[in-house]
């Protein structure tokens, strides 16, 4: 009884870094209403990063190893990749003569975007932030979303204005006013149907966040909070009306379970049997794939057309104008693509256009490194299984979203990825599981 009481008591004892992360997450909706979400992530990220550097400098050798601030090799790969992004940015600005003021402005954008893909994993690996704190906080956000859903529905039914206001905090600068606007609902320009973006800049981004936080909800130990999170984030994915969100939320976790049990003979034999069966029915599977792809495209044909055209423009101009270092800055497309930025809606096309093949490799290499690392570690570590799923979700969404400008929303995911990178390659000793450092 005493041990059980002690375990429950420890659940309410937070480290300083956990308090900041928990506060930032639980107050997501209030921060959104004042237009501060886009500002919050860089402030939290860089503050904790410098706090971690200070702790690394001041820590003594007698500090327990599991409490020491350190940066594992997997995080260094992300740091190297994001520094390569900045190098590509600088070289491209010099190549195209964009000037020092524009270079400084773009570097500030890098610090609020791509750099956070390295900063938050470093925080997750170097500081004592339990993933369970993040899991619970995202379930609380789901509860807030569920409580607000009737108001969001009602606002559409009675035809209230779609956008309430744009926060004056827009003055700090950002990708666009949608990052600082408070919106009750959106109307799809193609179908005329309502879509809800909740606290994100557009509806598909809400689907992205719903997928990440859905995985966190599955890990929550409290049954009550787990079901609140599962129901809440499933509803967010559905109401976002994002085609990719609905596909990913169904297949990402089962796919992760399969990959994380590759060492089990039954999984290996099942996979071999599935491959053999697929060979026998290959023609049927190909026909079904193309039929599903056509249905997927037909669901929102105008959106699919714009995405495809933006991608073709980005690749053509990358190949002919700036194949190595890219163009350095984002440029608006023609009327044909509704003046959308070239390479938007697709991280890889955007990287090729803005940062060239260097920027492409700077994201691809860390993603592949982490994917392989978590494939190995997930065979014995439940935390790495979660991180594997998160990397798969991020990978899926690089083909549909600009990862750079949504980093300010997925930062809790990156902290969990960093915590998993610090996990040892084997969580078992003498046939028994070791207690992870973060629990």
- What is the residue whose two structure tokens read 């491209």? 92
Greatest distance between any 2 Cα atoms in the chain: 70
- What is the residue whose two structure tokens read 């599981």? 433
3-state secondary structure 86-152: HHHHHHHHHHCCCCHHHHHHHHHHHHHCCCHHHHHHHHHHHCCCCHHHHHHHHHHHHHHHHHHHHHH
Token pair in block for residue 349: 């096309």
3-state secondary structure 195-258: ECCCCCCCHHHHHHHHHHHHHHHHHCCCHHHHHHHHHHHHHHHHHHCCHHHHHHHHHHHHHHHH
What is the reported pLDDT for 298?
A: 54
**Whole-number Å distance between alpha carbons of 356 and 40:** 29
In which band, very low, low, confident or very high, does the pLDDT at 84 lie, cut at 50, 70 and 90?
Answer: very high
**Whole-number Å distance between alpha carbons of 413 and 137:** 12
Q: Is the pLDDT of residue 11 over 60?
A: no
By the 8 A CB rule, do 256 and 392 touch?
yes
The string of pLDDT tens digits covering residues 325-379 is: 888 777 776 655 555 666 666 788 888 888 889 999 999 999 999 999 999 998 8
CA angle 114, 117, 121 (to 5 degrees): 160
3-state percent breakdown (helix, strand, coil) of the chain, nearest 5? 70, 5, 25
Sketch the domain layout of the chain as residue ranges: 13-60+69-260+301-425, 266-299
Nearest to 253 by CA among 393, 372, 92, 46: 393
The string of pLDDT tens digits covering residues 404-434 is: 889 999 999 999 999 999 888 764 444 344 4
List, in sequence order, every beta strand (DSSP E) within 225-382.
none
* Chain-centroid distance, C-alpha 205: 10
What is the reported pLDDT for 366?
A: 95
In which band, very low, low, confident or very high, does the pLDDT at 267 lie, cut at 50, 70 and 90?
Answer: low
What is the reported pLDDT for 290?
A: 46
Mean pLDDT score, 317-331: 81
By the 8 A CB rule, do 204 and 401 touch?
yes
What is the reported pLDDT for 280?
A: 47
By the 8 A CB rule, do 99 and 390 touch?
no
Nearest to 382 by CA among 322, 304, 439: 439
**Percentage of the chain with pLDDT > 90?**
44
By the 8 A CB rule, do 348 and 387 touch?
no
By the 8 A CB rule, do 86 and 355 touch?
no
By the 8 A CB rule, do 268 and 258 touch?
no
Length of the chain, in residues:
439
Return the sign of the alpha-carbon dihedral for residues 146, 151, 155, 158: positive
By the 8 A CB rule, do 32 and 179 touch?
no
As beta bridge partners, residue 284 has none
């Amino acid at each position: 009884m005493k041990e059980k009481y002690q375990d429950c008591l420890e659940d309410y004892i937070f480290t300083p870094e956990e308090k900041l992360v928990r506060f930032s997450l639980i107050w997501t909706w209030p921060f959104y209403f004042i237009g501060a979400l886009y500002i919050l992530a860089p402030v939290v990220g860089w503050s904790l990063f410098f706090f971690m550097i200070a702790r690394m400098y001041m820590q003594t050798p007698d500090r327990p190893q599991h409490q020491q601030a350190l940066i594992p090799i997997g995080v260094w790969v992300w740091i190297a990749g994001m520094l390569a992004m900045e190098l590509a940015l600088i070289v491209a600005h010099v190549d195209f003569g964009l000037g020092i003021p524009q270079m400084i402005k773009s570097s500030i954008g890098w610090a609020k975007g791509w750099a956070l893909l390295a900063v938050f994993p470093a925080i997750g690996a170097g500081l004592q932030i339990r993933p369970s704190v993040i899991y619970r906080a995202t379930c609380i956000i789901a509860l807030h979303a569920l409580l607000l859903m009737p108001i969001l529905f009602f606002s559409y039914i009675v035809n209230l204005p779609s956008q309430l206001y744009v926060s004056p905090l827009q003055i700090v600068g950002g990708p666009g006013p949608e990052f600082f606007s408070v919106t009750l609902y959106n109307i799809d320009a193609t179908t005329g149907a309502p879509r809800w973006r909740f606290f994100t800049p557009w509806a598909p981004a809400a689907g992205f966040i719903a997928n990440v936080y859905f995985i966190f909800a599955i890990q929550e130990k409290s049954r009550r909070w787990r079901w609140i999170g599962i129901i809440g984030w499933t509803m967010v994915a559905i109401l976002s009306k994002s085609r990719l969100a609905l596909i990913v939320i169904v297949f990402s976790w089962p796919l992760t379970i399969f990959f994380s049990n590759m060492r089990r003979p039954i999984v290996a034999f099942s996979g071999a049997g599935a491959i053999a069966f697929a060979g026998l029915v290959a023609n049927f599977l190909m026909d079904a794939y193309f039929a599903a792809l056509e249905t997927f495209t037909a669901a929102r044909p105008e959106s699919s057309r714009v995405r495809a055209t933006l991608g073709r423009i980005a690749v053509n101009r990358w190949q002919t104008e700036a194949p190595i270092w890219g163009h350095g800055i984002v440029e608006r497309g023609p009327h044909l693509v509704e003046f959308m930025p070239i390479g938007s809606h697709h991280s890889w096309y955007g990287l090729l256009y803005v940062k060239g093949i260097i920027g492409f490799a700077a994201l691809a290499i860390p993603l592949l490194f982490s994917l392989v690392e978590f494939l190995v570690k997930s065979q014995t570590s439940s935390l790495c299984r979660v991180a594997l799923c998160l990397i798969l979700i991020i990978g899926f969404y690089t083909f549909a979203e600009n990862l750079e400008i949504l980093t300010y929303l997925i930062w809790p995911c990156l902290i969990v990825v960093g915590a998993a990178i610090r996990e040892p390659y084997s969580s078992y000793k003498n046939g028994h599981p070791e207690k992870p450092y973060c629990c």
